[in-house]
Structure 1
Amino acid sequence: MIRELTPELAHIAKTELNEDPKQTPEDVQHLKDWIAKQTHLKARTDDQWLVAMLRGCKFSLERVKAKLDLYYTLRTTSPEVTLRLKPTQSTFINFLKLGTCIILPKATSGLHPRVILIRAGRYDPEKNSVADIMCILYYMVQILVMEDDSASVIGTKIVVDYEGTTLNHLVQANVTLLRKIVAVSQDSLPLRLKGSHHLNVPSGIETIFKLVSAFISEKAKQRLKIHKSTDELFEHIPKDVMPPEYGGTGATVAQNIEYWIAKMKEYKSWMEVEEKLGTDESRRLGALPSDETSDKGSFRQLNID
């Protein structure tokens, strides 16, 4: 069932995303019919999931089909990013407890992009990889767009805190892995990225920024902000969203972690299905959706709204 938007969200969805609530059910059914005809594709057909995909592509059916195909193709061809930690296993929850990636609650007033907080130096690089952070985010985003229409309509912002990051963390971010992480996070997920904000940036990170800049659009580059303090951050992020550990007035990091652990347990049956989805490339009738998954292939410029 497709949820009805609030008048304010509906206005934004119409003017910015071309969403027509009278047409949306027909678009969703069209996608279900299309998925059923793809012999290689094992994909979700939940209404809200498909609506989130439509919003992420501004209701262009052809773009949605390409995104859906890419999303599940990457599940199969890049498991080192999408299935490195399986959401139904204890290793996933144990890594989630470190607080390397949490999606923060909505702002208490007004409509704002949801904030994804990445704490890049909070894991042991001898035990885990930067790809594990992407894997955690990959599954949390599914829950986010299923439950929060404002996230799929208004979009998201990413805040990356590099406190605790060492050279051992940085060397994990090789060009091949970065390409795949960017493809998964920005080219296949149903998200409108409204900006990325970076705190406690260490020396040496410039090399990674240069590598990533080769894969993203000019708009994304312009929206990449490096802040010297949280005061600068609060010019872009509501203070009531950020945890008190960052000078905000929102829930603590520990409270946010507990919330998402509970959510993952609540969505256990969803995740059990999720682990079985993907593509069977031996049954694909046409070419791959793009060559993003190839180490030698070139990446499309990513769409950042």
Structure 2
Amino acid sequence: MVGEYVCTLSEELLQRAKEEINEVPERRADDIEHIRDWLKHQPHITARLDDWTILRFLRGCKFSLQRTKEKLDMFYTCKTLCPEWYKNRDPQDKKIRAILELGVILPLPGYETSGSRVVITRWGRFEPSKLSLNDLMKASLAVIEVWMDEDEQASVTAMVTVEDCQSLGFSHITALTPSFVKKASALLQEGYPMRPKGLHYINTPAAFDTVFNIFKSFMKEKMRKRVHIHGTDMESLYRHVPKSVLPVEYGGTNGTIEEITKYWIERLDARRDWLLEDEKYVVDESKRPGKAKTSAELFGLEGSFRKLNVD
């Protein structure tokens, strides 16, 4: 068997997987094999075929085989159509390293009370005049993918995001064009097996509404209902995300930003070969059965993204 999966979940988490995402342990291997066989018969997709990668997508799609196929196709399609985000993802590259050292995206140690992993983003730390938005996205996606590959619990219990808007200014707003936001939204919502359970905005600046309205226009209604805007009221955040999971800088007890940043740099360094090898897993649109997909079709500003799926 290709990259045979070994379960690390507790009995409690296995039960949650049954109840919340329709995972049946006795059928798991057959479901993985079904998807693997399907991938092998897609002439346009060069995909990772190991059990764990396929299982992550099955869990992200609540074991709907059809949705899993659609999401995997979208994932590898996006990698092909967004080379500026997926090529040369070397954590030791000077530009990528500079962004990683800023700690702009940090999955936090441990889990919040419902078992979800909390991820803090700090895009205000990034200076658009010095580093490109595409490099920021490239570094962020590298962190996300290494985290997802190493965190089995989150594949069942999902994630909660805390967006720290401290220092977001006019230069960030102008960099976050509608086309960039739409492309990123399509990629993350349609191409990744993450299941966001909450989106919390803190330290929101005066210009926040302008930026958020752009993002909101590309969110499905279900996701909009999971958005919480706390401003500078940290007590409001703590009602959703406990201090025990937050870093010291956010009034928590879960290590420091410096320590967590260092941890993720070390993890990406350890997975450098995996990240570089990942470039070969893409689609070849010239071999796709039927009509080839294009950036204009998937990311163009014409049309609507109301069909985006968010669990």
Match of residue 69 from structure 1: 73
Q: 1:137 aligns with which of 118, 140, 156?
A: 140
Contact map agreement 1:17 1:59 (CA 8 A) in 2? yes
Match of residue 64 from structure 2: 60
Post-superposition shift, 1:142? 2.2
Match of residue 310 from structure 2: 304
Post-superposition shift, 1:137? 3.0
Q: What is the distance in 1 between the residues matched to 2:90 and 2:209?
A: 31
Q: 1:186 aligns with which of 186, 189, 195?
A: 189
Q: What is the distance in 2 between the residues matched to 1:276 and 1:89?
A: 19
Post-superposition shift, 1:111? 4.5
Contact map agreement 1:81 1:180 (CA 8 A) in 2? no
Q: What is the distance in 2 between the residues matched to 1:59 and 1:27?
A: 8
Match of residue 2 from structure 1: 5
Contact map agreement 2:113 2:242 (CA 8 A) in 1? no
Q: Secondary structure at the match of 1:226?
A: strand
Q: What is the distance in 2 between the residues matched to 1:143 and 1:69?
A: 20
Contact map agreement 2:90 2:272 (CA 8 A) in 1? no
Q: What is the distance in 2 between the residues matched to 1:260 and 1:224?
A: 26
Contact map agreement 1:220 1:304 (CA 8 A) in 2? yes
Sequence identity of aligned pairs in percent? 36
Contact map agreement 1:88 1:272 (CA 8 A) in 2? no
Q: What is the distance in 1 between the residues matched to 2:119 and 2:136?
A: 11
TM-score, scaled to structure 2: 0.91
Match of residue 219 from structure 1: 222
Match of residue 201 from structure 2: 198
Match of residue 172 from structure 1: 175
- Higher share of residues assigned helix: 2
TM-score, scaled to structure 1: 0.93
Residues matched between the structures, number? 304
Match of residue 251 from structure 1: 255
Q: Which runs of 5+ in 2 are unaligned?
A: none
Match of residue 162 from structure 1: 165
Match of residue 23 from structure 2: 19
Contact map agreement 1:129 1:172 (CA 8 A) in 2? no
Backbone CA RMSD of aligned residues: 1.9
Q: Secondary structure at the match of 2:245?
A: coil
Q: What is the distance in 2 between the residues matched to 1:127 and 1:105?
A: 30
Q: What is the distance in 2 between the residues matched to 1:181 and 1:84?
A: 19
